[in-house]
A and B are shown apart, each in its own frame.
Chain A
Amino acid sequence: MGLDITKKKRRIALGCEGSANKLGIGVILHEGDAAAPTSTVLSNVRHTFVSPPGTGFLPKDTAHHHRAFFVRVAKQALADAGIRIADIDCICYTRGPGMGAPLASVAVAARTLALLWGKELVGVNHCVGHIEMGRAITGADHPVVLYVSGGNTQVIAYAEQRYRIFGETLDIAVGNCLDRFARALAISNDPAPGYNIEQLAKKGGRVLLDLPYAVKGMDCSFSGILTRVEELAAQMKANGGKGPDGEPFTGADLCFSLQETVYAMLVEITERAMAHVGSNQVLIVGGVGCNERLQEMMALMAADRGGSVFATDERFCIDNGIMIAHAGLLAYETGFRTPIEDSTCTQRFRTDEVLVKWRK
């Protein structure tokens, strides 16, 4: 390990992610200059814990899932990558933010690999992982980032070696609002509640139900909207609620109205941040980022401003190990290490706490 990592031509990292209900392990290869490496995804394996319709994933069950599948997923990731253990330079894992128990089980597993194989550890901020992977895949160099998932809703822009949060939700995350609404209608959690809401919304749209629209500056709030859609869902089940045209509305109409409202809010706060920092690139990351309606609305907004939108597909949008490997390796190349005695994980870890040493 005395070797200077920046002098090495090929650098390989294995990343372990498990901050929510996805367990992901991926292997990334960086080549060339450490200041501006070329990245190649060698493998990206994921296994998702899916809870029955009407329920959410609980920390205990999710942690159990991650423990049960870790070895299988890790072996698959190594086999897909076609590398030897000796080729790996470091083991990266999600330090936070996320759910405590699942984070802890993956951190234990990552530590085990590091000790077993004699590798150094790198703790990674989950949000920074999403951002760096999005940048690497899309090639967006200085975008305003909308990070939307089941646990996070943030509008971020880079300034002076930090990813600064310009706007965020003041209560629950947008994905949490969608997930919990899906429970009210007992929409399937397989592959993801948000995906099923999107498919159902395509069948709705006869009416737009009046939902609260809560934007405060560059921040927003979703709990009031959730309460309202849950009320409407209950009304619909009990006696068939009436839409603004006096006709009964359907679950599909609810999905449609919810999507139109919350995505309009997200696009609005993103546009506000773009105007504020003077950027015309948007990068959407996080699980909700795979939603095609959100991508479409964002593209319309960006086009209006003479800019463009960058988004990735489910392989990189949804939590994965490769993004942890990539962001971890970027930090590793600047000399960052997480000694084993400090290799904790944390539920609270703000995006702007990370010193982004690999960017100017």
Chain B
Amino acid sequence: MAAADDAQFPPPKVLTYPASTPPTLITQGAEGRLYKTTHLTRDRPCALKYRPPKPYRHPILDARLTKARLSSEAKVLERCWREGVPVPAVYAMDPAAGWMMMEWIEGIPVRVGINQWLGERPEEGAEIPEGADETPLVDLMKRIGAAIGALHKTGVVHGDLTTSNMMLRPVQGGQANGGAGNEGKTRAVEGDVVLIDFGLATQSMSDEDRAVDLYVLERAFASTHPRAERLFATLLESYKSTFKKASSVLIKLEDVRMRGRKRSMLG
């Protein structure tokens, strides 16, 4: 299995050195690949993000984008880490070679957690039924809103907020989530929200950029979890209570939504 993966996706050179822990390919995302390996010592797990050259892109454009995106990602992560926003710490990087090593975040993506939770619900009806106890999910929406509020407060916009780009890290001392067992239902949406994949993040304080950040998430959320779409308002409320300048961002969000709709005007 591992050998087949290696043949299909040759790992970056840094992972081929004899001293490195044999890497495991975790995901083949749109942007690049994520490997699990170790940093410095064998008991310190790390995520290695590798942006391989994109064969479809002009080599000059590709090199420009890879280098710029990796450097900006590292800068942004460093800034968030310093300010206490929940993000993975950066360990090491080589922008020209296209890789960066980061702290390994345990847990499952928020997308998986929400879907596991929704999966326990009755199938019929597009909405969560009335009277069902949705507190755990509402609570998760609040934690997501708070994390994004903290992020925007530091002057960073993520650029690709989706529920796939957030992890649910099990709370210290608690059991790992996503495990087998029926009690996984509530546990599926428990844990600390950690924002990941800052590949398109930029440093910006403008309402416009922040509003677009929220808009991207809103749309991704509606298309990924149509049945929980209604709860997005909870996320925005929590965002508002975490972040002082949120009100003007939310007003701007209205504009961005209108403009998004206006797109359908032309044939």
Asked whether A185 is an interface residue with its Cβ less than 8 Å from the other chain, the reply is: no
Contacts of A215 in B (CB 8 A): 200
Asked if B259 and A348 sit within 8 Å, CB to CB, the answer is no
Contacts of B174 in A (CB 8 A): none
Closest to B256 in A: A170
Chain B: CB-nearest residue to A302: B56
* B212 in contact with A170 (CB, 8 Å): yes
Q: Which residue of B lies closest to A153 (CB)?
A: B263
User: Which of B56, B159, B260 interacts with A264 by CB under 8 Å?
Assistant: B56
Is A105 part of the contact surface with B, judged by Cβ < 8 Å?
A: no
B65 close to A213 (CB less than 8 A) = yes
Given known A-B contacts A170-B260, A261-B61, A274-B30, A164 and B223 have beta carbons under 8 A apart = yes
Most buried by B among A126, A267, A272, A306: A272
Within 8 A of A (CB), among B18-74: 28-31, 54-58, 60-61, 64-65
Contact B216 A216 (CB under 8 A): yes
Contact in complex: A217, B160 (CB < 8 Å): yes
- Contact pick for B162, options A268, A276, A301, CB 8 Å: A276
Q: Give Cα distance in the complex from A216 to B212, angstroms.
A: 8
Structural contact, B265 and A97, CB atoms closer than 8 A: yes
Asked if B58 and A168 sit within 8 Å, CB to CB, the answer is no
* B196 at interface, CB cutoff 8 A: no
Within the complex, the shortest CB–CB distance from A166 to chain B, in Å, comes to: 6
Q: Are A217 and B159 in contact (CB under 8 A)?
A: yes
Interface residues of B in 127-166 (CB under 8 A from A): 159-162, 164
CB neighbours (8 Å) of B223 from chain A are 157, 159, 164-166
Whether B220 pairs with A126 at a CB distance below 8 angstroms is no
Q: Is the CB of A20 within 8 A of B267?
A: yes
- Most-contacted residue by chain A among B30, B126, B262, B267 (CB, 10 A): B267
Asked if A300 and B55 make an inter-chain contact with CB atoms under 8 angstroms apart, the answer reads yes
Q: Contact mask B238-267 → A, CB, 8 Å, 1/0? A: 000000000000000000100111111111
Given A165-B223, A216-B212; A304-B263 close (CB under 8 Å) = no
Residues of B within 8 A of A19 (CB): 267
With A267-B56, A301-B56 given, is the CB distance from A151 to B267 under 8 Å?
yes
Give which listed residue, B57, B58, B64, B266, contacts A151 with CB less than 8 A.
B266
Contact, CB under 8 Å: A103 / B162:
no
Task: Tally chain A residues at the interface, Cβ within 8 Å.
Answer: 57
Distance (Å) between the CB of B264 and the closest chain A CB?
5
| Per-residue A-contact encoding for B159-179, CB less than 8 Å = 1, 0 else | 111101000000000000000
**Does A132 count as interface, using CB distance less than 8 angstroms?**
no
A44 at the interface (CB under 8 A from B): no
B219 at the interface (CB under 8 A from A): yes
State the majority secondary structure of interface residues on A. Answer: mixed
Nearest-CB residue, chain A, relative to B55: A300
Closest chain A CB from B207 CB (angstroms):
15
Distance of A305 Cα from B54 Cα, bound (Å): 11
Q: Which residues of A contact B267 (CB under 8 A)?
A: 19-20, 94, 96-99, 103, 126, 149-152, 319, 347
A216-B200, A260-B58, A276-B162 are known contacts. Are A152 and B220 too (CB-CB below 8 A)?
no
A173 at interface, CB cutoff 8 A: yes
Residues A350 and B159 in contact, CB atoms below 8 Å apart:
no
Q: Do residues B220 and A218 form an inter-chain contact, with CB atoms below 8 A?
A: yes
Q: Give, as a whole number of angstroms, the nearest-CB distance from B11 to chain A.
A: 15
B186 cross-chain contacts in A, Cβ below 8 A: none
Cα separation A103 to B267 with both chains bound (whole Å): 9
| A35 to B57 Cα, complex, angstroms | 41
Minimum CB–CB distance for B261 against chain A, Å: 7
Contacts of B30 in A (CB 8 A): 268, 271-272, 274-276
Q: Is the CB of A260 within 8 A of B220?
A: no
A291 at the interface (CB under 8 A from B): no
In this assembly, does A297 line the interface, its C-beta being within 8 Å of a C-beta of chain B? yes
User: A306: which B residues are within 8 A, CB to CB?
Assistant: 8
CB <8 Å contact, A173 and B60: no
B216 touches A219 (CB 8 A): yes
**Min C-beta distance of B114 to chain A, whole Å:** 14
Contact in complex: A217, B162 (CB < 8 Å): yes
Near B by CB (< 8 A), chain A positions 186-225 give 208, 210, 213, 215-219
> From residue B212, how far is it (CB to closest CB) to chain A in Å?
6
Asked if A43 CB lies within 8 Å of chain B CBs, one says: no
Contacts of B10 in A (CB 8 A): none
The answer for the CA separation of A137 and B20 in the assembled complex, in Å, is 50
| Residue A233 at the chain B interface, CB threshold 8 Å | no
The smallest beta-carbon distance between A147 and chain B, in angstroms, is: 12
| B65 & A168 in contact (Cβ 8 Å cutoff) | no
Find out whether the CB atom of A305 lies under 8 angstroms from the CB atom of B200.
no
**Across chains A and B, which 4 residue pairs bring their CB atoms closest together, nearest first?**
A98-B267, A151-B266, A19-B267, A217-B216
Chain B: residues with CB nearer than 8 A to chain A? 8, 28-31, 54-58, 60-61, 64-65, 126, 159-162, 164, 200, 212, 216, 219-220, 222-224, 226, 256, 259-267
Other than the given A97-B266, A216-B216, A217-B160, 14 more pairs (CB < 8 A) read A98-B267, A151-B267, A165-B219, A213-B65, A216-B160, A217-B161, A219-B216, A272-B30, A296-B56, A298-B56, A301-B55, A304-B55, A305-B28, A348-B265
Interface CB pairs A-B, < 8 A, 28: A20-B267, A97-B264, A97-B266, A99-B266, A150-B267, A151-B266, A152-B266, A165-B219, A169-B263, A208-B58, A210-B64, A213-B61, A213-B65, A215-B200, A216-B200, A217-B160, A260-B57, A261-B61, A267-B57, A275-B28, A276-B30, A276-B162, A276-B164, A298-B56, A300-B55, A304-B55, A349-B264, A350-B261
